[in-house]
Structure 1
């Protein structure tokens, strides 16, 4: 009985080998195809764990309502006037806060051994990194859309209409894509997702609040005003305000795009190098 079973197993193994040998090897996936596949992986993670969308839906609404109705009357004299000023800035803040999770997600994959499995695949090496950030860009767009829609419900009306709102949203998403590489470096350097989250928010919080998101820099003390005016987040908020008001500020737009490109140019290769060595 045992000999018969062994003979059957050997025959089956030989049949499988013949089938594999006679089948053409599938083509190796290209860089774009691999990156898009990993981007879709990020979307599937949200599908199976919808709670991941809380930070891009509930948190932006909370910030918008809290700052508008708590500080609007004291700062601008009325909530409607303050909403007109602060909504483009809150759009920037809400989306930029979401970029921290790019590093958290990468660190989680690294600590759980998922990255080691990706390295064993015959794919373009940076595909998991690029694909993950492409998937995160969808989250950035969702967060920005939530802020704009809630703002419109509260009474905000961009002078440039839908086109201006979409242009501002696209500007923030592009900037966030560049900034995400910074947090990916943190995700590869630090030991745990909690450490990445703490370090990320320790960096993004001061830069966001020391900007023109909430108040006009002209009302600030001299040294603080000088810092706020050169803060990249202030420049990005100014670019978004100009796009939504229908009077594009070319300097602010170009500087924001240049900062995004510079962040990607510096931290993308660094992330790739760390990814290969970890």
Structure 2
């Protein structure tokens, strides 16, 4: 009977980072060697942006902002959610096919296989974000703040992506079945559409507004709006950027604490 040796995470920090980067490189190479997977992930955000901008934009009035300025931050959050679904499916495939067991038998930290996947997915999300922003600028999106606020928005966007990665990692590692993962995606559409992502919360039914105003997609999206559009965004969001940034940091801390522990617990049980 084959015995699998598990190597602890108590290795030098540099070693842990190096192993994670190597596994991230493997993930990126695998993605770009299969264009049928990479191209839709990068092109879909642009298609959604153009669709919402020109099909729905004329019918939606946003106080203080043009619709495209209101929309692009929502598209960036949508990139994270859609990319996370791919993360969950990929981890479920790796778990089912024994790839993660092979990583666990190597002299690397147990967490490297998961954090490496997270790094590769963040890199792909960053490319999707840049393409979305460029496409947004082409159809009228503008930044109304200085470089410092733009960098803060980028940093917050990456932090949100890293936090939500653990939600999808926990899904993939708990189910170990790509079909099951796909069947669990509808709630994420609920969070996207019952929020301020595409329309103001005030236009929703009153009984939905409480949930929509306080759920993380609304908080994340409105934080990015405040950081990219400046004071004019407050007319649309109801609070200054600082309010949503602090709330976003709290959500990121809570999500990471809860779901990183769940993901690693599922990984150790494999």
For residues 169 and 200 of structure 2, the distance between their equivalents in structure 1, rounded to whole angstroms, comes to: 32
Q: Which consecutive unaligned segments of at least 5 residues does structure 1 have? A: 1-26
Matched ranges for 1:1-278 at <5 A: 30-76=15-61, 81-160=66-145, 163-199=148-184, 201-247=185-231, 249-278=241-270
Q: Alpha-carbon deviations, 1:213-271, whole Å to 9, x = none?
A: 11111222222111111011101111000000134611211111221121111111221
How many angstroms apart in 1 are the aligned matches of 2:69 and 2:88? 32
Partners in 2 of 1:126 and 1:194 — Cα distance? 25
- Point out where structure 2 has 5 or more consecutive residues left out of the alignment: 1-10, 232-239
C-alpha contact (below 8 Å) 2:69/2:229 kept by paired residues: no
* 8 A contact 1:118–1:128 mirrored in 2: yes
Give yes or no for contact 1:164–1:245 (8 Å, CA) kept in 2.
no
CA shift in 2, pair 1:47/1:90, >3 Å? closer
Structure 1 residues 173, 253: CA separation in 2 closer, same or farther (over 3 Å shift)?
Answer: same
User: Superposition RMSD on alpha carbons, in Å?
Assistant: 2.1
TM-score (normalizing by structure 2): 0.85
Aligned length, in residue pairs: 249
Q: TM-score, normalised by structure 1?
A: 0.83
Residues in 2 aligned to 1:51 and 1:169: alpha-carbon distance in whole angstroms: 28
